[in-house]
Amino acid sequence: MTAAVAIVGGGLTGLALARYLHDAGVPFRLFEARSRLGGRIKTEHLGADGFDLGPSWFWPGQPRMAALIRDLGLEVFEQYAAGALLYETEQGEVIRDRGFSSMQGSLRVRGGMGAIASGLGDGLPDMSVETARTLVSVSDDGTLGFADGRTVAADKIVLAMPPRIVRQVTFAPALTPEVDTALAAIPTWMAGHAKFVAVYDQPFWRADGLSGDAMSRRGPMVEIHDASTDTKGALFGFLGVPAALRRGQSAAVMQACVSQLELLFGPKAGSPVEVFYTDWAEDPYTAAALDQDPLTHHPAYGLPAALKAPMGARVYVASTELALEMGGFLEGALAAAEDAAHWVLATS
């Protein structure tokens, strides 16, 4: 099989790049290792309601996201923020009105962020996208080798993958020490985190004057927010338990999360109609060994000097972590797709 451009990675960067190339009339093939598109965008559904296990928000002042959502015909709404924040001490004492809504002013997509991935994927040619295709090798003659034994020849290759995941691919010739060190030094945003969502028939906490926001020094969730839809109530939280302790303990983790919500928000929180949980540290296409510890701050992302030149004449790496602006955010993923599209078109 031959492709003018091979895009490896069906997250937001890869999908947006595919859209750019399709609109420009450039032939491409997109290969995604997972069985679904979206990458770190992951939305679970309960009926027509979508609940995000990956990114939940974008913000005003992010023009690429605003334009894409408009072009896809999607709707946005503001993160619910009215009411008091709860604070759980290390001893389990719950304090009301300590702090403020940290996500006030952020925006959500009706139906979940997965609607963006679906919208982009649906707009691509039927035979241009393949899922369950794990890249294992790249040669300087443009040959890509996949775990299923098949190969693809491409004039240009865009690796729309986190830099540390790129390092797991075998390159011929091998990456230089400078490039390998640069890739290793870039943390994958949110890769060490896990996210839990509890769904209820209604957002009962709002009647109690609560915003759904909570911070905890005890856990297992350290940060909690309202994730309600038009027809369901929902609360979600980020786990503070180290990845090594979470591994293989999903049932126990989910039960502990429900118990924590009950302590914070009252007896009604102990009986969700559905729960969802994703541990990104266990996703081999998101988290490398270096990513197992959650980040404690937002890194200063960008393009290190060793990666400013493409990796040979054929290979380019694009991800939100390498974006020159808004690195780590969905806006950064779109900026990375723009840069990759410019490289493809300028060198074609």
pLDDT, tens digit, 9 for 90 and up, residues 7-34? 999 999 999 999 999 999 999 999 999 9
pLDDT of residue 20: 98
Can you read off the two tokens belonging to residue 163? 């830099």
Least reliable range by pLDDT among 42-46, 98-102, 147-151: 98-102
pLDDT of residue 309: 83
How sure is the predictor about 144, in pLDDT bands with cuts at 50, 70 and 90? very high
CATH 3.40.50.300 fits 42-112+192-282, yes or no: no
Cα–Cα distance measured from residue 244 to residue 242, given in angstroms and rounded to the nearest whole number: 5
pLDDT of residue 311: 84
pLDDT of residue 101: 67
Percent of the chain with pLDDT over 70: 98
299-345: pLDDT as tens digits: 999 999 999 888 888 999 999 999 999 999 999 999 999 999 999 99
Where do the structural domains in the chain lie, given as residue ranges? 1-40+113-187+299-348, 42-112+192-282
Can you read off the two tokens belonging to residue 200? 């209820």
Amino acid 72 reads L
Cα–Cα distance measured from residue 225 to residue 280, given in angstroms and rounded to the nearest whole number: 19
Under CATH, which number does the domain 1-40+113-187+299-348 receive? 3.50.50.60
Exposed, middle or buried: residue 122 (CB in 10 Å: 0-12, 13-18, 19+)?
exposed
Q: What is the pTM of this model?
A: 0.96
Residue 1 in this model has a pLDDT that exceeds 80: no
Cα–Cα distance measured from residue 303 to residue 235, given in angstroms and rounded to the nearest whole number: 36
Cα–Cα distance measured from residue 317 to residue 258, given in angstroms and rounded to the nearest whole number: 40
Angle of helix 63-71 versus helix 330-347 axis, rounded to 10: 80
How sure is the predictor about 347, in pLDDT bands with cuts at 50, 70 and 90? confident
Neighbours of 124 (CB within 10 A): 18
155-209: pLDDT as tens digits: 999 999 999 999 999 999 999 999 999 999 999 999 999 999 999 999 999 999 9
Residue 149 has phi, psi (to 5 degrees) of 95, -10
Please determine whether the domains at 1-40+113-187+299-348 and 42-112+192-282 fall in the same fold group of CATH: no
